[in-house]
Amino acid sequence: MTEMVFGTVPVRAGEPVLPRWWRTIDRWSLAGVLVLFGVGLLLGLAASVPLAEKNGLPPFHYVTRQAFFGGVGMVVMLVISMMSPDMVRRMGVIGFLGAFAALALLPVFGTDFGKGAVRWYSLGFASFQPSEFLKPCFVIICAWLMAAAQEINGPPGRLYSFFLAVTVVLFLAFQPDFGQASLILFAWGVMYFVAGAPITLLTVIGGIVVAGGIAAYDASEHFARRIDGFLASEVDPRTQIGYATDAIQSGGFFGVGVGEGTVKWSLPDAHTDFIIAVAAEEYGLILVLFIIALYALVTGRSLLRLMKERDPFTRLAGTGLACAFGVQALINMGVAVRLLPAKGMTLPFVSYGGSSVIASGIALGMLLALTRSRPQGRLHDILIKRGR
């Protein structure tokens, strides 16, 4: 039927998988991700050595682990990027069921590693954080529901996705993990807007979110402490935010020099949540701007390619994944410069963390798969055909 309306599509008969993948993939975005991972290893060489020495481990213990888990993440990303949108959807739905079950069982089998929030499973040789894997799969299943709602006699997918988002956010808030909850809600809101939600409804939902934040402030000492620290007129120099702020200010434009930074000896999370402070201190504003440009490149190019997509699921899922990726990076860097309250969120592909880098590989693999060039996959094809 499609061929009858829009004409036949030239197909390269018998083209192998890898050449077809290389011809259709967004190579600029792929290169941006690989460079980000390389920058993360470079910063890990500086940021993780003090922690390794403190724990009595070899100097490059954490860098070696990051290289291993990052290698796994890169392989996973490349494999997923070769999938079709239908395969991505199936994997996302199955992955969501598994990740949500793991999230629900955290109060029983999870651990907090002394950080006050039960977010991880301890596997002995490594840890596993379900919420990291839940994010990309949540985006996929919500995009599927919203796309189904656009079909004739389709289900009320937008309503289903709303209840799903509320359920996931509540589970995350009870950990508590308000950072991941905010990111999940943001991704859902972006997709809901792209799917055609009225501004009035989104405004009402925004008001509910603000009311929820006020309630969380009153009910959670952990949440209130972070908000109070953010709103304080002066920063306590003995806190992580204080150390990070001083490091960023001392770095200047060119940095203090490779290996000459001191913040990594004071910050316990210098290799994870505050790795951008290490980058700013040792390499200066130049490297920070370069990192920001890489995130903007991947996010911006993905959104531009998705604007040409005709398939609702591909457009919605890709938009949610791209925006979640970009906003997570924005939140991490915003916390380091005290533009946002502390949230304990990693910098994708740069911060240390097995769950983070593998889950980021899954998310970007899905995004690269959805933004590949496909026959009849562009909106301007329809406009050209109809204009003839």
> Band of the pLDDT at 222, cuts 50, 70, 90?
low
> Band of the pLDDT at 333, cuts 50, 70, 90?
very high
What's the token pair of residue 74? 């890169």
CA distance 279 to 260: 11
- Look at 355 and 265; give whichever has higher pLDDT: 355
- Look at 87 and 110; give whichever has higher pLDDT: 87
Closest by CA to 353, choosing from 73, 50, 165, is 73
Q: Are 190 and 181 in contact (CB under 8 A)?
A: no
Q: Examine residue 9 and state whether it is found in any structural domain, yes or no.
A: no
Mean pLDDT of the region 327-345: 87
Q: Are 161 and 188 in contact (CB under 8 A)?
A: yes
> Band of the pLDDT at 138, cuts 50, 70, 90?
very high
CA-CA-CA-CA torsion for 160, 161, 167, 169, nearest 10 degrees?
A: -160
Q: Examine residue 63 and state whether it is found in any structural domain, yes or no.
A: yes
Worst-scoring range by mean pLDDT, 175-184, 305-314, 355-364?
Answer: 175-184
Cα–chain center distance at 152: 33
% of the chain surpassing 70 pLDDT? 89
Q: Examine residue 31 and state whether it is found in any structural domain, yes or no.
A: yes
Q: Examine residue 378 and state whether it is found in any structural domain, yes or no.
A: yes
Q: Examine residue 183 and state whether it is found in any structural domain, yes or no.
A: yes
CA distance 19 to 32: 20
% of the chain surpassing 90 pLDDT? 49
> Band of the pLDDT at 238, cuts 50, 70, 90?
low
Q: Examine residue 3 and state whether it is found in any structural domain, yes or no.
A: no
> Band of the pLDDT at 7, cuts 50, 70, 90?
very low
Q: Examine residue 195 and state whether it is found in any structural domain, yes or no.
A: yes
SS3 273: coil
Q: What is the pLDDT of residue 237?
A: 62
CA distance 351 to 332: 10
CA distance 189 to 325: 14
Q: Is the pLDDT of residue 220 over 80?
A: no
Mean pLDDT of the region 150-156: 88
CA distance 81 to 372: 8
Q: What is the pLDDT of residue 14?
A: 60
Q: Examine residue 11 and state whether it is found in any structural domain, yes or no.
A: no
- Look at 16 and 132; give whichever has higher pLDDT: 132
The boundaries of the domain holding residue 180 are: 16-387
Domain count, the chain: 1
101-110, 117-126, 220-229, 233-242, range with greatest mean pLDDT: 101-110
Q: Is the pLDDT of residue 377 over 60?
A: no
Contacts 24+ apart (CB under 8 A), 373-379: 373/23, 373/24, 373/305, 374/24, 375/9, 375/10, 375/11, 376/2, 376/6, 376/9, 376/310, 377/308, 377/309, 377/310, 377/311, 377/314, 378/308, 378/309, 378/310, 379/307, 379/308, 379/309, 379/310
- Is residue 109 exposed (0-12), middle (13-18) or buried (19+ Cβ within 10 Å)? exposed
Q: What is the pLDDT of residue 12?
A: 58
What's the token pair of residue 149? 């709602």
Q: What is the pLDDT of residue 267?
A: 77
Q: What is the DSSP letter of 264?
A: G
Cα–chain center distance at 360: 6
When the pLDDT of each residue in the chain is averaged and rounded to a whole number, the result is: 85
> Band of the pLDDT at 3, cuts 50, 70, 90?
very low
pTM over 0.85: yes
> Band of the pLDDT at 101, cuts 50, 70, 90?
very high
